[in-house]
Structure 1
Amino acid sequence: MKYLPKLQQIKVFNEVIRCGSIRAAAREMNQSQPALTRALKELENHIGATLLVRSNEGVTLTEVGSAFAVRAHLILEELEKAADEIEQINNNTYGRVAFGISSLFGVTILSSVIKDFKKSHPRTLINIKEAQLSTLLPSLRDGRLDFALGTLTDQMPLGDFRIIPLFDAPFCVVGRKNHPLINCRSMQDLAKASWVIPETDMGYYHYIRQFVPFDYPDGPSSPVLTDSTVCIMNLVINNDYLTILAQARLNEPRFGCVLSALPIGQSSLPMGHYGLIYPRKRPLTQAAQAMVEQLKWYCQQHHWGGR
């Protein structure tokens, strides 16, 4: 390829994918359908491959188109971030930062972090996504998130990320106060318990499946899997479900008054190793770096152990 594609061609391609059809994209971009069709044809001729298959139902990406779409989206994301950062430097405008967190940060230090960050960046747009770190990886890789915080394990594929270790935190089995199994002292005693745990195919909650009898053959039911903290808390507080939580969560009055840790030996569950990650090939913007520094400072100040 002697020359790179034109930026407008990439923008048209990206918008057609987002909208699902050339007609919808033309309406969204306030351009004619023939103009978008021509731009897509020029892009395909330039690349030397078919990117989209058109039909009455819309467009479908080819194998080449799927591969190109990932890079095209990233190119536009990075250009937009660069433009925003330059505008922020030149005109002291708002900027923006997007990051992902596991729920532990949301119920502990996040409000203080945001409060302090806003003192020096009052007009910065902040976007936060809550999920397990494994769920956040695609958004980190395609540029939708600047960085993310969560539990790290050796099995996670993080070779393309920079890793900043934050802290270690003990975990415990948790149920509502007066749960029928609240005095159990071993994992074996929980073989027939009902469980609700975060859904993930890697990371801490995937790793501890070997230590906890989630799938006991004679148990009352299979575990409930969800990435919704609201669902987990409601099932644990209002029903006889058990879950696994960082002990630091129980230090928060709103949870400590209704939840209790079962007296199971701390060695029964491995320590959770928390860290912050961001892509190696994509530098943090000034706003994102400032947010990272705030998060690191509050992580150092907070007590992450048990009571």
Structure 2
Amino acid sequence: MRELPKIHQLKNLRAIIQYGGIRAASSAMHQTQPAMTRSIQELEKILGVSLLVRGVRGAVLTEMGRTFEPRMNLVLNELERALDELQQIKMASQGSVAFGCSHLLAFGVVPKVIKKFQQRNNTARITVFEGQLSELLASLRLGRLDFFIGVITQDILLHEFVEQHLATAQFCVFARQGHPLGNSTSLKELRGASWHIPIATAGYFSEMETLIFPYGKEAGCSVILGDSTTIAEQLILNEDYLSIGPKTMTMLPYLKDRIQIIPVKEKMPSGSYSLIYRQHQTLSPLAQQLVKDICACYLELMESE
């Protein structure tokens, strides 16, 4: 049987990629530079290829290194998650969960759920990534995320994932209460407005500008694309930007008296919200518990619409 790389060699290579050079990686991993260099040379000998090009600006992956990196990360992520899952089973309230969610969840569900979740599991480590599925899909495929909850569209193939449909949400155009364009009845009247639109390279939001501007844009129209709910909130509430999102967002307790739906006659599309995770991945006990809490809170919010 061909010799396999050792775990410490893979972790050292990952550290060099992360920190940009052997010196910084050695310091972060509490090793000497010669020991770090030797482990990479041994790894390259096992693989029979050169992985790094070393220069004055640090270490850069070769073509072979770029081919090897995603699979290496997948192996390390899976092993680390396996150890974490065993630890969670042994110590029920300990461990870590990393997941992604889209904007409605980030606005109205996740903060509330996490607070209650950590009251029950105060040693658990939770990592949340906000964004659209197209932006987080690579991390989900590599096992860096346990699951994703958000808008799912047919143009993103999910054959390798388990998908659990949660609800369908009707979208709308909204603005702050009292916005000068708040009584507009057509998108034609909004051609010169300032907009904040969630960003996506594929899927639901990728063609949103085409939908919002069927009549074109007027001079002075401003469009900002982004994934930050904090920036979106400030632009909408304080800078008179318009946005598009699920009607449910206007029902959130801290937003319902601050934003309003603009009653345009054009029908906005609906978004299908689902939970997805990799088919060959068993969610850890903590992840299963968190998924259950998020889904319950989300469905409760949808029923209040």
Query: TM-score w.r.t. structure 1 length?
Result: 0.91
Distance, in Å, in 2 between the alignment partners of 1:20 and 1:126 is 27
In 1, are the aligned partners of 2:88 and 2:286 still within 8 Å (CA)? no
Aligned to 1:244: 244
> How far 1:177 sits from its partner (Å)?
2.1
Moved more, 238-247 or 199-208: 199-208
Aligned to 2:77: 77
AA aligned opposite 1:286: P
Aligned to 1:156: 156
Distance, in Å, in 2 between the alignment partners of 1:304 and 1:155 is 28
Cα distance per residue 1:76-97 (max 9 Å; x no partner): 2221111122123234461111
Aligned to 1:299: 298
> How far 1:102 sits from its partner (Å)?
1.4
Distance, in Å, in 2 between the alignment partners of 1:215 and 1:233 is 26
Moved more, 63-72 or 201-210: 201-210
RMSD: 2.1
Aligned to 1:179: 179
> How far 1:47 sits from its partner (Å)?
1.0
* Number of matched pairs: 305
SS of 1:105's equivalent in the other structure is helix
In 1, are the aligned partners of 2:96 and 2:126 still within 8 Å (CA)? yes
Indicate how the Cα distance of structure 1 residues 32 and 298 shifts in structure 2: closer, same or farther if over 3 A, else same.
same
AA aligned opposite 2:103: S
> How far 1:115 sits from its partner (Å)?
4.4
Indicate how the Cα distance of structure 1 residues 195 and 215 shifts in structure 2: closer, same or farther if over 3 A, else same.
farther
The answer to whether structure 1 residue 274 and structure 2 residue 273 are counterparts is: yes
Indicate how the Cα distance of structure 1 residues 128 and 46 shifts in structure 2: closer, same or farther if over 3 A, else same.
same
SS of 2:179's equivalent in the other structure is coil
Distance, in Å, in 2 between the alignment partners of 1:33 and 1:177 is 60
> How far 1:100 sits from its partner (Å)?
1.1
Cα distance per residue 1:104-152 (max 9 Å; x no partner): 1133232443344345534222111222222221221222211111111
AA aligned opposite 1:64: M
> How far 1:180 sits from its partner (Å)?
2.0
AA aligned opposite 2:284: T
Aligned to 2:263: 263
Moved more, 267-276 or 105-114: 105-114
Aligned to 1:224: 224
SS of 2:10's equivalent in the other structure is helix
Indicate how the Cα distance of structure 1 residues 181 and 93 shifts in structure 2: closer, same or farther if over 3 A, else same.
closer
Moved more, 84-93 or 227-236: 84-93
Indicate how the Cα distance of structure 1 residues 231 and 91 shifts in structure 2: closer, same or farther if over 3 A, else same.
closer
Distance, in Å, in 2 between the alignment partners of 1:92 and 1:272 is 35
Distance, in Å, in 1 between the alignment partners of 2:212 and 2:301 is 28
In 2, are the aligned partners of 1:195 and 1:214 still within 8 Å (CA)? no
SS of 2:206's equivalent in the other structure is helix
In 2, are the aligned partners of 1:214 and 1:223 still within 8 Å (CA)? no
In 2, are the aligned partners of 1:170 and 1:305 still within 8 Å (CA)? no
Distance, in Å, in 2 between the alignment partners of 1:142 and 1:3 is 24
Aligned to 2:20: 20
SS of 1:268's equivalent in the other structure is coil
In 2, are the aligned partners of 1:215 and 1:223 still within 8 Å (CA)? no
In 2, are the aligned partners of 1:249 and 1:255 still within 8 Å (CA)? yes
AA aligned opposite 1:124: A
Structure 2: gaps of 5 or more residues: none
> How far 1:17 sits from its partner (Å)?
1.3
> How far 1:60 sits from its partner (Å)?
0.3
Aligned to 2:127: 127
SS of 2:254's equivalent in the other structure is helix
Indicate how the Cα distance of structure 1 residues 288 and 268 shifts in structure 2: closer, same or farther if over 3 A, else same.
same
Query: TM-score w.r.t. structure 2 length?
Result: 0.92
